[in-house]
Structure 1
Amino acid sequence: MAIDPRGTDLKRLLSEDQGGPVVMLNLLRFDDGGREMYDQYAEALSTTFLPRYGGEVIYAGEGSTALVAEAGQEWDAVLLVRYPSRSAFSSMVADPEYQQVTGLRTKALTEAVLQVTTPWE
């Protein structure tokens, strides 16, 4: 199970760029003790990297009762993060300083979904 975007994922992200802002849907499942590591990552993300690349957390919340889901489809946390463009997200991920802290996210999670969304017309 992939936790972090790979180079091929980022190339596809940029090749499908129609311009404009995107909101990244993050569905997270934490490993034992992973929530604390993720909190360290989230602190660096919100204080350093999101401001640097024009991103902002729109929503962050704990997973709760899954009303419509198969067994195992519930998530521990959900985040919505807005970026001004796909290239802003890609630049952040490529930032050497960001790469030093993203290992916290990788170690914190057992499973994740990171999906680009675009506004409806």
Structure 2
Amino acid sequence: MAVDPDKAVLDAFARQGPEGPLVMLNLLRFTPDGRPSYEEYSRRAAVFLSRYGGELLYAGDGAAPLVAGEGQAWDAVLLVRYPDREAFCGMVADPEYQRITALRTRALSEAVLQPTAPWTSRPGARPS
């Protein structure tokens, strides 16, 4: 399973709507010795989050899932807010940021990076 988005996926993401803020859901499964590498990546990535207007909303360890299929438990969950798609794409394209991504790649055996948009950004949508 891929742990980093490829260029074609990022290009398509940049062209999609809606505009405005988004929250990126990160589901992470670490390699056996990957947590220290991910912690170092996180420490270094904080500089880039700040530079591009991102904000770590939540980071926590995964617990036993209450509803999930076999193999759907995750080691960690992060929620990161970005002001818009352009900010996220700018961050991941930043050459300085790209120099630290090997720490993340090395740390993970599997990952989900799921962009989300607030329900209020869609006409007629209401949270239940």
CA distance in 1, matches of 2:10, 2:69: 29
CA shift, 1:38, in A, is 0.1
Residue type of the alignment partner of 1:49? F
- The structure having more radius of gyration, on CA atoms, is 2
Aligned to 2:82: 83
CA distance in 2, matches of 1:18, 1:64: 32
Aligned to 2:95: 96
Aligned to 1:51: 50
Residue type of the alignment partner of 2:5? P
1:25-36 paired onto structure 2 within 5 Å? 25-36=25-36
Aligned to 2:37: 37
Using the size of structure 2 for normalisation, the TM-score is: 0.92
CA shift, 1:65, in A, is 1.6
Residue type of the alignment partner of 1:108? A
Q: Deviations over 1:22-76 (max 9, x none)?
A: 0000000000110000000000111x10010000000000000211011110000
CA distance in 2, matches of 1:37, 1:10: 24
Runs of 4+ deviating beyond 4 Å: none
Unaligned runs of 5+ in 1: none
